[in-house]
Amino acid sequence: MYQILSQFEKKYKNLTKKGLKIEGLSMIDPKRKKHVILVSKPFIFDNRELPKVFEGLEVKSKIQGDLPEEFRIKPDRRDKEYIWSPDRFERFVNRCENELRKKFGNPNMTKKDLLDALAFGNFDEHKKKCAQLMKEGKIPPIQLN
């Protein structure tokens, strides 16, 4: 397992310049002895560059640092609002489109590219997953366009 982590570190070392920190291996399910590769990254990070699974291990990431204003929720509203709601990503990209292109170093990124980069690698997939979670009552109702 440590060999897999070592391979991951070699392959994705270049992303450390963009703020990725490879935390190491973490056991998330002691009963089934399920391990993951744990990483942390800034909010503004191109998630398309990171795999969801590497050599059979899931890659779990957490955000380090502050979130943009569109993603801040007051403590008394946490059970009524979903922090990763697709409309929050859209509002953020609409407000900061040109800044994001500069930050990603690609002036040719489309709005869809920016949304995909920020929203876990695939914005449309994230939107569908949110719709399903709403139907199941696992997240509060949100506005989906």
Are 88 and 143 contacting, i.e. CB atoms less than 8 angstroms apart? no
pLDDT tens digits, 131-145: 999 999 999 887 665
Average pLDDT rounded to a whole number, residues 44-66? 95
Mean pLDDT taken over the chain = 93
pLDDT tens digits, 91-126: 999 999 999 999 999 999 999 999 999 999 999 999
Nearest alpha-carbon partner for 15 in 37, 48, 54 = 48
Q: Is 130 exposed, middle or buried (0-12, 13-18, 19+ CB in 10 A)?
A: buried
Average pLDDT rounded to a whole number, residues 53-78? 93
Nearest alpha-carbon partner for 115 in 106, 126, 107 = 126
Lowest mean pLDDT segment, chosen from 8-12, 32-36, 92-96, 129-133: 32-36
More confident residue, 32 or 112: 112
